[in-house]
Amino acid sequence: MSYNKLTIKDLDVKNKKILLRCDFNIPLDKETGAITDEGRITSSLPTINYLLDNGAAVIACSHLGRPKGEWNPKMSLRVVSERLSELLGKPVKMAKDVIGEDAKALAAGLKPGEIMLLENLRFHKEEEKNDPDFAKALAGLADIYVEDAFGSVHRAHASTEGVAHFLPAVSGFLLAKELEHIGGALENPKHPFVAILGGSKVSDKLGVIISLLSKVDTLLIGGGMAFTFIKALGGSIGSSICEDDRLDYAREVLDKAKALGVRVLLPADTVAAAEFSNDATPTVVNSFAIPDGMMGLDIGPETVNAYIEEIRTAGTVIWNGPMGVFEFSNFADGTFKVASALAQSSAVSIVGGGDSAAAIRKYGLEDQVTHVSTGGGATLEFLEGKELPGIKCLLNKGAAVV
């Protein structure tokens, strides 16, 4: 799959109506409905401002939550339109529907330099089914389609893939940045190339591990997934999380790494506790000899130092998945110190979305790394080398735009 896609800078957008797919799937307070993290809204601003400043009329669209094809006022995008209006310093016209009469009327009357927002795409079950009639109706609102929701490009939905069958389809700045940084790191990394993988389950990262083994020089493993590898090697892991049905896979991964000459580092020591609680007493133990009744909740200090040294000498680092239960302050040290080492490193540093991105933001280090991905599942599938329908459907550089 080519990552070299046309962007909005390759087109004349003046006096054009742009259907802009954003990722406004933001977290809301369950009690008040207020926005608790506006990062996905602010990350869309460069693309929106460019389009408006260059004389385009912008018809923004997104999903929010999982309404399962039902109209649900708690998942309305109105709260997004209000905040987006404040951030842009201009009105954002809010449609009452998606492809209904109100949306059509607002889109028809939208002037260059103006912006509107459609209601939640997933209020229609046709969105996730990639229904061609629904996609055609969406496309009928605009002249050009711009994909800027990297977190959704792994889904072949009407608003991420279907509309590209009816409109010229190009990338916005946010998506282009993801393609440049992650695609560039995978295709032409500066060596040594180090991947840091964490999180709770091997099964969540198995495809990523297999894909990265052919690219990286060193693989650092942390988080709960490390215990599946440790047990596969004959270690005693106490009551730590483990996927017993993945032990053979873990051994195969280690064998393949050895055959490829890739160094795989597992935690030498572990911060363990008798229960899954921040109030539990942390105890540093040998990762391969965790006492019965104790579970590993973070990488230990020896491991932290070893991983920091690998990061310090790296040319490129990709990090996906925390090193421990970083939500608990007593078991967050490994994740914090890996994040800090990444921030201090001179390497090309890419934080692969999800919990890793949440951690880097929690510690206020997002501006000190090269790139923080906005994707979750999309980032993982990108790292796996899968063909992503929301990227494949975009026009390649050099293509003629009709």
Active site residue 377: yes
371 and 230 in a common domain: yes
Active site residue 207: no
Residue 379 confidence (pLDDT):
86
Q: Among 201, 263, 361, 386, which one carries the catalytic annotation?
A: 201
Q: Is residue 401 part of a domain?
A: no
- As for how many domains the chain has, the answer is 2
Residue 4 confidence (pLDDT):
83
- CATH number of the domain encompassing residue 149: 3.40.50.1260
- Local structure of residue 348 (DSSP, 8 states): E
Q: Is residue 395 part of a domain?
A: no
Q: Among 223, 354, 376, 390, which one carries the catalytic annotation?
A: 354
Measured distance CA(359)–CA(51) in Å, rounded: 32
Q: Is residue 121 part of a domain?
A: yes
H or E segment and range at residue 372: strand 371-372
Q: Is residue 184 part of a domain?
A: no
Q: Which of 176, 209, 234 is the last residue of a domain?
A: 176
pLDDT tens-digit map of 131-183:
999 999 999 999 999 999 998 999 999 999 999 999 999 999 999 999 988 88
131 and 44 in a common domain: yes
Q: Among 40, 155, 177, 205, which one carries the catalytic annotation?
A: 40
Active site residue 354: yes
94 and 236 in a common domain: no
Q: Which of 176, 205, 231 is the last residue of a domain?
A: 176
226 and 375 in a common domain: yes
195 and 101 in a common domain: no
117 and 199 in a common domain: no
pLDDT tens-digit map of 7-40:
999 999 999 999 999 999 988 888 898 998 888 8
Active site residue 40: yes
Tell me the HSE value of 193 on the side-chain side, using a 13 A CA sphere: 17
220 and 314 in a common domain: yes
Strand segments (E) across 30-112: 57-61, 92-94
Give the list of residues 6+ apart from residue 245 with CB closer than 8 angstroms, or none. none
Residue 36 confidence (pLDDT):
86
130 and 250 in a common domain: no
Q: Is residue 397 part of a domain?
A: no
Give the list of residues 6+ apart from residue 264 with CB closer than 8 angstroms, or none. 218, 219, 221, 229, 253, 254, 257
356 and 221 in a common domain: yes
Domain that holds residue 272: 189-384
Q: Is residue 182 part of a domain?
A: no
Those residues of the chain that have pLDDT short of 70 are 1-2, 402
Q: Among 113, 377, 386, 392, which one carries the catalytic annotation?
A: 377
List alpha helices for 273-332, DSSP H: 301-312
Query: Do 395 and 169 form a contact (C-beta atoms < 8 A)?
Result: yes
Whole-structure pTM value: 0.86
pLDDT tens-digit map of 311-325:
999 999 999 999 999
Q: Is residue 212 part of a domain?
A: yes
Residue 1 confidence (pLDDT):
59
Task: Give the Cβ contact number of residue 86 at 10 Å.
Answer: 12
Residue 402 confidence (pLDDT):
61
158 and 223 in a common domain: no
115 and 41 in a common domain: yes
290 and 248 in a common domain: yes
Q: Which of 144, 176, 208 is the last residue of a domain?
A: 176
Q: Is residue 230 part of a domain?
A: yes
